[in-house]
Chain A
């Protein structure tokens, strides 16, 4: 028999305090009933003897010290799950908001998840073909990877995410197909709508589970959104063997919500006011990507975050980069010159690609091409820096060749139409065509064999008109 506690002792931002409570557990969920019939969810975040601090997911608006009744549920926050969730839309706390009624649950799972035992993981090796040259060739996405997009306000990260969803090809030989879990945290209504419409247009809507916490929704709910999304993803991947692509946007809003909650709780702040546990907290989300033994499904994450002031050293992108297996960085200058997707090649990286490319996966020359493109494009930056001081005319012939290569690379390799879906062969051949515009002596990352097979200045003209 659950005890009901009438009234509160303190209200502070999203937090309420109850006195004289007994037998409640840390992290436990409570229901708060208001006088006017409204009901809200809350979670225990601190216990001192008989004093408990609760965070209210829907906010404390309208709560007073006397008009409430609190009932503890005796368990942490759980999400009801079944394969019916495909095609449904939920709010940030996992409640259906599409008017189609509650989920008939197959099981319920704790949204906090549990740490995955490293020995039960399978090292991810299978690549996902996104049809986007800059990603496929240079920062290959691997099944079970967490590869964030570091973007800035106003850049085309959403468009890129939609293109990835539309074009992503997952080999069908294993698992029960492919589905998308979409978690929106503090995004504008338009953005959520854009994704919804795009999923509809591409005909994948029946394969999408959406969790929406819009920018005017309560912040505590926002801290639950990615957890609900990942719980749903893990369920589909590991119990129903599906390949799940999780898109989380915008991680910056999530971290802001965490900061707001932390400061109202009176915690000692770490860097830039973010709580000291921001790293562990982000890790508890990102580390939920992967492939595990005994299941043929996978969870792949593409978190999107907008870097405040385009600063990659800001705590949010910084800590994210230390947890995720690489990053795709978007660049404002490329965007301004009309290059879509504006992938900034040099700081972008996929840590898992080395084992998921090459013979048997993509093509045997893949790693050589990508290394050489990286190295040559790095030379382009040096040559450009020099040209900006002494003028392009004064450059040595080699540097001039690099300047030319840089322009072609951006125009033909990076730039790609929203509907252009390139196969891996096309992408790699294009890479060789571009490299063939450089003198052969400048290609020091590829061995003789590949040079003989692929280096061909005459072919460069066929590709690059």
Chain B
């Protein structure tokens, strides 16, 4: 029997044993806390414990399980809320009340719930790894597909159950593999959370994840299967941006990981998502959402695991042919959990006390995103959008810098924009998206053939404004010639009327690509016409006296999303007003 030798916070050590393997899941103590082996030496085996070790004594037993830390994958995941090691929080609340007791072991998925199963294979068929053998509706909009675990060798189907109602523990199929072994299959399977699930191949990334947020879709687009980071100091709107994306992006399933964040925020997600109706499916957003909540006061080791649990769930649904978006809020908390545990292990710290393996762990995580051909010959994708909370809002700190190396979209949130309540506070000068080229064909073919060139013009204006602002900061706008004043005015319209977006406005919270495009067209038309007038010698003051500029700024509110034809009127108004000015001149 292996016994606890030493205890220091979440780290427990066992002396003189060779029974454990690296990253094995173990049960620690009389209450059977879940733990994971994270270090083995001749003398000592080190275990991180996923629960509070308060009251644990040396001499209490440690049980080996022989399996790595795994997630249970099967129907019942969607709409659920789990902690960092996939324990169902709703169930825990029923058992232990408002506060989480330690040592409560419950099955991750409801074992009593019966699903309406359709068997998709016949006796005599050969079932290969990753192949789908049964399906059942999981929520009104998600059909769950049970696949042969990639760990199991392919074999011949020798028995199938009738279509009907089954729980996740009922055997529905039996196969016999080459070795003559008979394997019973259920709706669910297990998968080690730190191992990426295999696929046939990675496909090129060329479809956007449409979010309805103008600054993202138009200026800094993200692709399905891509990776993005949202860094920002506290109060700049990381969580708000992630909530908006989770609500509106066109992924089939959202995995929302609250990693070391606030409890009230998770409650808000729970509440809002069950009330909000997804316009595409007419069902509450919870029908397509999984929440993983390991708030900042929950055990730190489980916080470290929560990211892997989340991505494993996402990959599982990807393999069924769905498009998944993961919101990880926040990866900095996860990095800090790494640092905390590394400190307890007395490892040699690298930069800022973070362990030297921080970059490799980050890359392992972000590399699990992708657009793939699954083992069942379907297309699916996992998109990762990770929030980063840099210490002191300083982007040069190790987590932000290392994350930057592994993501292709960088949405930098800016304090001064947030202070001015310009949301989303994504700074267009500091941010970038490497997906622009990959996605330009999609935009040009599906929205408008000019989309990319129009977008470029808009960003050019912003770049020119940025240069001009350096002069303005020193001398004010009054000294500028009228054409530059005009540029600044148009840039203001782009900033306030286009980039700024109101999450609480019924139309502005989600804007279709078509409307985004037409808004840009109107702004550019305004610019073109005003430029003409300025070149004829009409002063900026005269141009601004017409209320056209104010009208254009407010078009995001005034034009409903389903009435794009109204943009024609704006063009006419601009033309008429400016013709009049020309005539007066």
Bound together, the chains give a CA A119 to CA B81 distance in angstroms of 8
B300 touches A (CB below 8 Å): yes
A425 touches B (CB below 8 Å): no
Q: Which of A128-136, A152-160, A385-393, A401-409 contacts B (4 or more CB under 8 A)?
A: A385-393
Among A117, A269, A290, find the residue whose CB has the most chain B CB atoms closer than 10 A: A117
- For residue A355, which residue of chain B has the nearest CB? B268
Q: Which residues of B contact A (CB under 8 A)?
A: 5-9, 13, 15, 52-59, 81, 89-90, 92-93, 96-101, 233-235, 258, 260, 262-264, 266-268, 270-271, 293, 295-300, 333, 336-337, 339-340, 342-343, 346-347, 349, 352-353, 389, 391-394, 415-416, 419-422, 472-478, 496, 504, 550, 553, 557
- How many A-B pairs have beta carbons closer than 8 Å: the answer is 223
- For residue A444, which residue of chain B has the nearest CB? B496
Knowing A269-B353, A396-B477, A445-B421, the reply to whether A318 touches B392 (Cβ < 8 A) is yes
Interface of A is mostly: mixed
Q: Which residues of B contact A389 (CB under 8 A)?
A: 473-475
Instruction: Tell which of B56, B333, B475 touches A25, judged by Cβ atoms closer than 8 Å.
Output: B56
A-B contact pairs, 18 of them (CB 8 A): A25-B56, A49-B5, A117-B100, A118-B267, A119-B81, A123-B267, A283-B260, A284-B296, A287-B262, A290-B264, A318-B234, A318-B391, A322-B234, A325-B262, A352-B264, A374-B421, A375-B421, A396-B478
A349 touches B (CB below 8 Å): yes
Q: Which 7 A-B pairs have the closest CB atoms?
A: A313-B392, A283-B296, A378-B420, A287-B297, A321-B234, A27-B54, A114-B99
Q: Which residues of B contact A122 (CB under 8 A)?
A: 267
* Contact between A385 and B476, CB atoms less than 8 A apart: no
* Contact between B263 and A46, CB atoms less than 8 A apart: no
Q: Which residues of B contact A367 (CB under 8 A)?
A: 504
For residue B386, give the distance in angstroms from its CB to the closest CB of chain A: 15
* Contact between A347 and B419, CB atoms less than 8 A apart: yes
For residue A101, give the distance in angstroms from its CB to the closest CB of chain B: 30
Instruction: Tell which of B89, B101, B233, B296 touches A279, judged by Cβ atoms closer than 8 Å.
Output: B296
Bound together, the chains give a CA A395 to CA B472 distance in angstroms of 11
* Contact between B92 and A117, CB atoms less than 8 A apart: yes
Excluding A119-B81, A396-B478, 20 further A-B contacts by CB distance (< 8 Å) are A24-B58, A27-B54, A46-B8, A47-B6, A115-B298, A116-B98, A117-B99, A118-B81, A118-B258, A145-B264, A271-B391, A279-B333, A280-B300, A318-B391, A326-B235, A385-B473, A386-B472, A386-B476, A390-B476, A394-B478
Q: Which residues of B contact A288 (CB under 8 A)?
A: 297
Q: Could you tell me how many residues of chain A have their Cβ less than 8 Å away from some Cβ of chain B?
A: 87
Bound together, the chains give a CA A353 to CA B14 distance in angstroms of 49
Knowing A115-B100, A275-B343, A284-B297, the reply to whether A347 touches B58 (Cβ < 8 A) is no
Bound together, the chains give a CA A47 to CA B4 distance in angstroms of 10
Bound together, the chains give a CA A428 to CA B52 distance in angstroms of 47
Question: Beta-carbon contacts of A260-288 to B below 8 Å, as 1s and 0s?
Answer: 00000001111100011101100110111
A419 touches B (CB below 8 Å): no
Q: Which residues of A contact B13 (CB under 8 A)?
A: 48
Q: Which residues of A contact B98 (CB under 8 A)?
A: 116-117, 120, 238, 292-294
Instruction: Tell which of B15, B270, B422, B475 touches A49, judged by Cβ atoms closer than 8 Å.
Output: B15
Q: Which residues of A contact B (CB under 8 A)?
A: 22-28, 45-50, 75-76, 110, 112-124, 144-145, 238, 267-271, 275-277, 279-280, 283-284, 286-288, 290, 292-294, 312-315, 318, 321-323, 325-327, 346-347, 349, 351-352, 354-355, 367, 371, 374-375, 378-379, 385-386, 389-390, 394-396, 399, 441, 444-445, 447
Q: Which residues of B contact A327 (CB under 8 A)?
A: 234-235
* Contact between B55 and A116, CB atoms less than 8 A apart: no
Instruction: Tell which of B295, B353, B393, B550 touches A115, judged by Cβ atoms closer than 8 Å.
Output: B295
- For residue A282, which residue of chain B has the nearest CB? B296
Knowing A115-B298, A120-B93, A277-B340, the reply to whether A349 touches B55 (Cβ < 8 A) is no
Among A48, A124, A326, A327, find the residue whose CB has the most chain B CB atoms closer than 10 A: A48
* Contact between A118 and B295, CB atoms less than 8 A apart: yes
For residue B100, give the distance in angstroms from its CB to the closest CB of chain A: 5
Q: Which residues of B contact A346 (CB under 8 A)?
A: 419-420
* Contact between B263 and A287, CB atoms less than 8 A apart: yes
Among B15, B260, B419, find the residue whose CB has the most chain A CB atoms closer than 10 A: B419
Instruction: Tell which of B53, B90, B422, B504 touches A354, judged by Cβ atoms closer than 8 Å.
Output: B504
Bound together, the chains give a CA A287 to CA B293 distance in angstroms of 14
For residue B411, give the distance in angstroms from its CB to the closest CB of chain A: 18
* Contact between B262 and A323, CB atoms less than 8 A apart: yes
Bound together, the chains give a CA A120 to CA B474 distance in angstroms of 54
* Contact between A276 and B54, CB atoms less than 8 A apart: no
* Contact between B5 and A48, CB atoms less than 8 A apart: yes
Instruction: Tell which of A49, A276, A347, A444 touches B343, judged by Cβ atoms closer than 8 Å.
Output: A276
* Contact between A28 and B55, CB atoms less than 8 A apart: yes
Bound together, the chains give a CA A195 to CA B271 distance in angstroms of 39
* Contact between B420 and A276, CB atoms less than 8 A apart: no
Q: Which residues of B contact A75 (CB under 8 A)?
A: 55
* Contact between B340 and A276, CB atoms less than 8 A apart: yes
* Contact between B99 and A123, CB atoms less than 8 A apart: no
Bound together, the chains give a CA A326 to CA B239 distance in angstroms of 13
